[in-house]
Amino acid sequence: MAGLSLEKTLEKKASVSRLRRQPRWGETIIQSLLFFSGFFSIFTTLGIVYELGKEALLFFQMPEVNLIDIFTKTKWQPHTGEFGIWPLFTATMMTTTIAMLIAIPLGMAVAIYLSEYAKPRVRTTLKPILEVLAGIPTIVYGYFALTFMTPLLREVFGRDLVQIYNTASAGLVMGILILPLITSMTEDALSAVPRSLREAAYGMGATKLEVALQIVVPAALSGIAAAIIVGISRAIGETMIVAVAAGAGPNLTLNPFEGAETLTGHIVRISGGDLSYDSIDYNSIFALGLFLFIVTLTLNIISQAIVRRFREVYE
């Protein structure tokens, strides 16, 4: 009896050990491949930081370049050795400002309309249309700016006032480009506000507008702020519209009807020809790229932080 039970226990132990975890090399290899894929994006970021940093450093070490001049001089002319970032910077600020003046009010109005007013059927037809707008390549917007917006502006404000290449046209069209981005992010934020908040406000006798502007919008403010910041970051990094329509040649001006070259527009124009390595032009685009990367990355991180920090969590 006792012997039999011992035998049984041994048998049991053997079968348990067979079930025990065994090394599976196939699984391990696959898992490490998957881990590599996941880690790959870190390489991309490191690559960006390393390459931009390295070449930018070479740029700053060049005898023609000094850091004080970059922020005090008002001309960016690589050929004559003048490197003042202001003309590029002001042009970028101008196109971004004009774009946001269009995109923020329009984008928010459309989002409020879609989320608070539109009937489900209207919403389901309108949203894809806005998505189409978001899916059109930016070079097409560039064509639109040059062949539609610029002639329109010249017609309205006069040909003497508005140059063929101008930041106003590029900025306005960029606003249309960014509109769907702001709309969809804002609308997501608005629809995340729970129904009960609206019902409570209606119960107190509020009108639809009061509910929308005084209850829903404040409740979704963190999402809206994030949308605006992402929009700004997108506008700063936008390239083809300004490359086509804003003008070729750095120009320090605050007149939106004059041509000027933005950071991105300058990078594209400089690298358009066959750029020789280690020339000052080659190194300068890395320095400008690094600046652009830091600015947009900071904005994106701020936007994510706002969402995390100030998000209202509803049960």
Partner 1 sequence: MKEKAIVQGFSDNLGARNRKGTIWYVLFQASTVIGILALIALVLNIINGAFGYVAYEARVDPDTLAVDGIPLTDQSKEQLVALLQSTLSSGAYTKLENDKPFAERSREEVYQLIVERIIRPEVVQVWNLWPSLTQADEIRATLASEHPDAELDFISWLSKDFVTRPQTSEAFTAGVRTAIFGSLWTILFTILLAFPIGVGAAIYLEEYASDNRFNRIIQTNINNLAGVPSIIYGILGLAIFVRTLEPLTSGEIFGLVDPTTASGRTVLSAGLTLGLLVLPIIIINAQEAIRAVPRSLRNASFGVGATKWQTVWSHVLPNAMPGILTGTILAISRAIGETAPLVVVGASTAISFDPNSPFSKFTTLPIQIYQWTSRPQDEFRSLAAASILVLLVLLLTLNASAVLLRNRFSRRY
Residues 84-113 contacting partner 1, CB under 8 A: 105-106, 109-110, 112-113
Residues 113-132 that bind partner 1 (CB under 8 A): 113-114, 117, 126, 129-130, 132
**Max Cα distance, the chain (Å):** 112
What are the CA-CA distances from residue 288 to residues 30, 60, 225, 239, 296 (Å)? Answer: 40, 11, 27, 13, 12
138-170 in b/e form (b: 16+ CB < 10 A) is beebbbbbbeebbeebbeeeeeeebbebbbbbb
Going by C-alpha positions, the residue among 101, 111, 119 that lies closest to residue 189 is 111
Minimum CB–partner distance for residue 90 and partner 1 (Å): 19
Q: What string marks each residue from 44 to 83 as x (binds partner 1 by CB under 8 A) or -?
A: xx-xx--xx--x----------------------------
User: Cβ closer to partner 1: 193 or 292?
Assistant: 292
Stretch that binds partner 1, among 10-18, 72-80, 215-223, 265-273 (CB under 8 A): 265-273
Q: What string marks each residue from 171 to 210 as x (binds partner 1 by CB under 8 A) or -?
A: -----x--xx--x---------------------x-xxxx
Residue 143 interacting with partner 1 (CB under 8 A)? yes
Minimum CB–partner distance for residue 5 and partner 1 (Å): 29
DSSP character at residue 246: T
User: Cβ closer to partner 1: 10 or 105?
Assistant: 105
Residue 279 interacting with partner 1 (CB under 8 A)? no
Contact criterion met (CB below 8 Å) for 177 and 277: no
Using CB under 8 A, pick the residue from 83, 198, 238, 246 that binds partner 1.
238
Residues 287-306 that bind partner 1 (CB under 8 A): 289, 292-293, 296-297, 300-301, 304
Alpha carbon distance 112, 216 (integer Å): 9
Stretch that binds partner 1, among 5-13, 66-74, 155-163, 237-245 (CB under 8 A): 237-245
Q: How many CB atoms lie within 10 A of CB 116?
A: 19
Q: Give the side-chain half-sphere CA count within 13 A for 236.
A: 21
Query: What is residue 199's three-state secondary structure?
Result: helix
